[in-house]
Amino acid sequence: MKTNKPVCITGASGFIAAHIVRELLERGYHVRGTVRKSPENYPFLLALPGASERLELVRADLLADGSYDQAVEGCDYVMHTASPYEINVKNPQTDLVDPAVNGTETILESCLKSGTVKRVIFTSSIAAITDEPDSTKVFSEKDWNTMSSLDRNPYHFSKTVAELAAWDFIMKKRPRFDLVTVNPFMVIGPSIGPSLNTSNQIIRDIMTGVYPGIMDLNWGFVDVRDVARAHVLAMETDTASGRYLCSGEAMHMRELVALLKSSGFNSFALPKIDLTGKVGTMLMKALSFTQPKDTGIYIRTTIGRTMRYDNSKIRRELGISFMPVKESLIETVNDMIKWGHLPLPKH
C-alpha cells in the first residue's frame, strides 16, 4: 500500500467516485469520502466489502469555505471528483461554473492547510481538452479547450476553467503537494449506486427513441472501472505527472446501434433511419434548434466530425489497459435494466 492514512475522495457517492472507493477498499486502503447528506443515505457505499472497517463518510459542501478541512486532515492523498455534470441548466455560471471552480479552490486550500497532503488527483474531462472533434487532428493531453464559454457548451467550459484553476493554484501557491489530472471521455459501465449517470443516460436515450435516427456522431468510451483504476494508479505511481487522457476505443453511433441490435436488445426503440450522410447531417443540424439550447449546441459542434485522440501517455506511464468498449456497453445496458432505468427486453 502507498499509505496507511485515509485516502480522501470528494463526492464519494458519484458514479466514478463510488468505483474509486471500491477499488481503494479492495486494495486495503482506509477511505474517507465526502458526501452531501448524512452517511445512512448512502447504503450502497456502506455495503461495499471492507467498508465497515475502513470507510468513513463525512459531510462537506463544495461552496462552503473550509468545508473540506476535516475531510483532508491527516491524509497523504486526495482525489477530487465532486463536480456538477448537467448539459442543460438555467444559469451556467451558478449551476456549473461556480460549483466546479469554487469547489476546486476550496479543496486545494484545505489540502494546503493540512500540511500532510502529498498529491491531489483531480477528475477532469475530455471536455477540458476540446468540445469540437476535428477530423484532421489527433487530440492529446497537450490540448486545451479554448472554444467553450457560458453560451457555448457551458458544461465543457466549467470543466475547463475548473482544471485551469487547479493548475493556476499549483503555479501560484507552490504547495508541498503535486497535482495529477485524469481526463476521461464518455464514462460508461455498471453503477454501484441507484442513480443514472449522464453518459449512461445517453445510451438509454439511444435505446428509448429519443434520437430520431442514426447520426454521424462518434464518442470515445471508457469503462468506469478503468477510470477508477486510473485514479488509484495516478496515486500509487510516484512518477505520475500532469494530465492523463483516459479513454479506450472510439465508436460511431452506427456501430453502437448495430452492437445493441445484435446483442439481444433489438426490441428497444433503437433508431432505424440512417442520417449519417451529408443530407442527414444538415437535417439534424436544423432539427437541433428545436432541442434544449445546450443539447442543440452540442449536436451542432460535434455532428459530422470524427473524434481522434492519443491515449498512449496513460498506457505508457500508468500501465493501464482498457476494457473492450463492446463488453463495457453490454454490461452498461444490463446494469440499467437491473436498476430499472430500462425495461426488460421483449423476446
Cβ-based burial of 75 (10 A; exposed 0-12, middle 13-18, buried ≥19) = buried
Q: How is residue 321 written as a grid cell?
A: 489497459
Alpha helices in the chain (DSSP H): 15-26, 43-46, 51-54, 69-72, 92, 98-114, 154-173, 198-207, 224-236, 253-260, 278-287, 293-302, 312-318, 325-339
Compute the distance between CA of residue 9 and CA of residue 11 in angstroms, rounded to an integer.
6
Point out which residues pair with 71 in neighbouring strands. Answer: none
**Cβ-contact 8, 72 below 8 angstroms:** yes
- 137 is annotated as an active-site residue: no
Count of helix runs (H) and strand runs (E) in the chain? 14, 12
* DSSP codes of every residue in 219-267: EEEEEHHHHHHHHHHHHH-TT--EEEEE---EEEHHHHHHHHIIIIITT
Residue that the C-alpha cell 462552503 belongs to: 64
Point out which residues pair with 252 in neighbouring strands. Answer: 218
Catalytic residue among 159, 261, 293, 346: 159
Catalytic site positions: 159
